[in-house]
Amino acid sequence: MTEPSRTRPGGRSARVREAVHAAVIELLVSGETEAAIPRIAERAGVNPTSIYRRWGTAANLILDAAVSRLRATTPVPDTGSLRGDVEAWATGVERSLNAPDTQVLLPALVAAQGTDASPAEHLLVRLADLEQMLTVAAERGESTPPVEDLLDHVLAPLYLRALLRIPIEPGFGARLAARVLRECPADPDRGVVRGD
């Protein structure tokens, strides 16, 4: 029985995966827009065939690398107050957008998405985390803005700048956070007072 585990995630496999991810990112950061597979392989100390067999195309690889790297950044904070959480989160996003890795991965992610209308996996994960943060605040009795507001009025301005390579001045994230909090309390779409 016990279906003898068809896959082998441990050891070498994981090592190669890591090395390749690192190599792609390094290449992208160093301005290699094309990011040809043979180059990546060389840099990772891996045979090109391995990459072709595992990821198939460069787009797939980049997508995988980007998602898995971006997932690691900016965990959702828990400061005890909604204001604190949102500001800390926004500041965290801002900081991460100043890292060269992110600056190059975000556009790459956008570019690598096929025409297939798949709302970026990466974003969905973030949204779920934010939901969680707001829910906790609501349970504390605070009235919170809808997640969409955080998406539209905090994340969007920050991401747009990152994607279009417009520099982000320090404190911009915090300002956006404050603004969202300032205007939403009048519209408690969740929290104790809820009504619709």
Partner DNA sequence: GTGTTAAGGCAAACATGACTGCTTTAGAAT
Partner DNA sequence: ATTCTAAAGCAGTCATGTTTGCCTTAACAC
Residues making contact with DNA (CB under 7 A):
2, 4-13, 16-17, 36-39, 45-50, 52-54, 56-58
Smallest separation (angstroms) from a second copy to the CB of 31 = 4
> Which of 151, 168, 174, 181 is close enough to bind a second copy by CB under 8 A?
151
Q: Which of 80, 185, 81, 196 shows the shortest CA–CA distance to 143?
A: 185
Dihedral angle at the C-alpha atoms of 25, 26, 29, 35, nearest 10 degrees?
-70
Residues 73-92 that bind a second copy (CB under 8 A): none
Q: Which of 76, 72, 45 shows the shortest CA–CA distance to 150?
A: 76
Residues 11-70 that bind a second copy (CB under 8 A): 29, 31, 33, 59
**Residue 183 interacting entry, from DNA, a second copy, none, C-beta within 5 to 8 Å by type:** a second copy
Dihedral angle at the C-alpha atoms of 57, 63, 65, 66, nearest 10 degrees?
150
Q: Which of 154, 102, 87 shows the shortest CA–CA distance to 127?
A: 154
119 binds a second copy (CB under 8 A): yes
Smallest separation (angstroms) from DNA to the CB of 50 = 4
**Residue 178 interacting entry, from a second copy, DNA, none, C-beta within 5 to 8 Å by type:** none
159 binds a second copy (CB under 8 A): yes
**Residue 166 interacting entry, from a second copy, DNA, none, C-beta within 5 to 8 Å by type:** a second copy
Token output for 187: 């519209």
157 binds a second copy (CB under 8 A): yes
Contact between 39 and 27 under an 8 Å Cβ cutoff? The reply is yes
Radius of gyration of the chain from its Cα atoms, rounded to whole angstroms:
20
Q: Report d(CA 47, CA 51) in Å as an integer.
A: 7
Binding residues (CB under 8 A) for a second copy: these are: 29, 31, 33, 59, 104, 107-108, 110-111, 113-115, 117-120, 123, 151-153, 155-157, 159-160, 163-167, 176, 183
